[in-house]
Amino acid sequence: MIGQGSKYHAYHSETDRITKREIVMPKGQNVDYGTPEEVMIRLGGGHVVEAGYANMCSAEHVDLMISENTAAALYVKSHHAVQKSMLEVADAVKVAHAHNLPLILDAAAEEDLHKYLDLGVDIIIFSGAKSLEGPASALVYGKKKYIEWVRLQSLGIGRAMKIGKDNILGLTAAIEEYLKFGPENGEKMKARLAPFLVNLNKINGIKAEQVQDGAGRDIYRASVTVTEDSPLNAEEVTAKLKEGNPAIYTREYRANVGIIEFDIRAVDAEEMDLIIARLNEILK
């Protein structure tokens, strides 16, 4: 979005010739998902401009921060981000397009490949390893002009980010399966969760329940509270799970308050049984 298809920019991403580098995004969406959003923006030569406040951002807030140096607007659709008093994706599209700017949507963990195209989003970033259940990879899609600009970066910083051929084949197969069968819906997810929750609640020192995704998506997870009578706290439990073979990783964003979550979208019944067995070993 900064180089706008310039091969010179692909070779000289930090050039002083280009001053239109500002990426406007809601302050409450500048989150750390393993690395901060702003780090990734800076890596591409962008300058983050935050709109709104930590607890709210309206369309007007975004509009106020757009200047002659704005290259694009960014919206992060994620449970990590602030949800209350936040403009919707459609609002962000309207503001960006009013200034003839593209809207980039970080939809890494979303489950609907079509939804945001229908809303008019220009560039959509989708994880290959989350809802698509493919290998470590990513998919960027949207309007042809912008995708061609992205493709050009294979001559520049994109070269260092390329994935292996096996990952590409795995992602392609995952997309084909998605297009054929669609994502797993919430009702199916809840049905698979039910026996897992029953077995979790048989383990000493924890209490499990079904919770919906914090961003309101049709995704359901097992939320596990480590109780006071547990021999280990939640942070110690997650550490022990990672030490095993195979290593088990949880959603541990609230481990500091005694809560961990299991996302079962890419986990089958046999793997859930392994999680139960490992927790029984840890908390016996």
Structural contact between residues 129 and 175, judged by C-beta atoms closer than 8 angstroms: no
Q: Give this prediction's pTM.
A: 0.82
Same domain, 205 and 238: yes
Q: What is the pLDDT of residue 116?
A: 95
Same domain, 168 and 250: no
The answer to whether position 139 is within a domain reads yes
Looking at the predicted structure, is the pLDDT value of residue 47 above 90?
yes
Average pLDDT of 66-85?
94
Instruction: Identify the band that residue 236 occupies on the pLDDT scale cut at 50, 70 and 90.
Output: very high
Closest among 183, 188, 27 to 110, alpha carbons compared: 183
Average pLDDT of 23-33?
95
In this structure, what CATH number is given to the domain that contains residue 228? 3.90.1150.110
Query: If you average pLDDT over every residue of the chain, what do you get?
Result: 94
Same domain, 109 and 247: no
The answer to whether position 2 is within a domain reads no
Same domain, 247 and 210: yes
pLDDT in tens, 49-60: 999 999 999 999
Same domain, 249 and 173: no
> In 10 A of CB 203, how many CB atoms?
17
Range(s) of the domain holding residue 210: 186-282
Q: What is the pLDDT of residue 217?
A: 81
Looking at the predicted structure, is the pLDDT value of residue 140 above 90?
yes
Number of domains composing the chain: 2
The answer to whether position 51 is within a domain reads yes
Same domain, 177 and 193: no
The answer to whether position 252 is within a domain reads yes
Instruction: Identify the band that residue 79 occupies on the pLDDT scale cut at 50, 70 and 90.
Output: confident
Last residue of a domain, one of 117, 150, 181: 181
3-state DSSP call for residue 72? strand
Last residue of a domain, one of 131, 148, 181: 181
Distance CA 70, CA 91 (A): 18
The answer to whether position 59 is within a domain reads yes
Looking at the predicted structure, is the pLDDT value of residue 1 above 80?
yes
Same domain, 64 and 201: no
The answer to whether position 49 is within a domain reads yes
Distance CA 181, CA 206 (A): 35
Same domain, 160 and 201: no
pLDDT in tens, 163-188: 999 999 999 999 999 888 887 889 99
pLDDT in tens, 185-234: 899 999 999 999 999 999 999 999 999 988 778 889 999 999 999 999 99
Q: What is the pLDDT of residue 110?
A: 86
Last residue of a domain, one of 125, 147, 181: 181
Q: What is the pLDDT of residue 247?
A: 96
3-state DSSP call for residue 117? helix
The answer to whether position 1 is within a domain reads no
Same domain, 37 and 149: yes
How many percent of the chain have pLDDT more than 90? 81
Average pLDDT of 54-75?
97
Same domain, 170 and 220: no
In this structure, what CATH number is given to the domain that contains residue 157? 3.40.640.10
Closest among 127, 220, 118, 117 to 174, alpha carbons compared: 127
Q: What is the pLDDT of residue 214?
A: 80
Same domain, 177 and 191: no
Same domain, 137 and 195: no
Q: Which residues have C-beta within 8 Å of that of residue 81, sequence separation ≥ 6?
A: 26, 28, 29, 31, 215
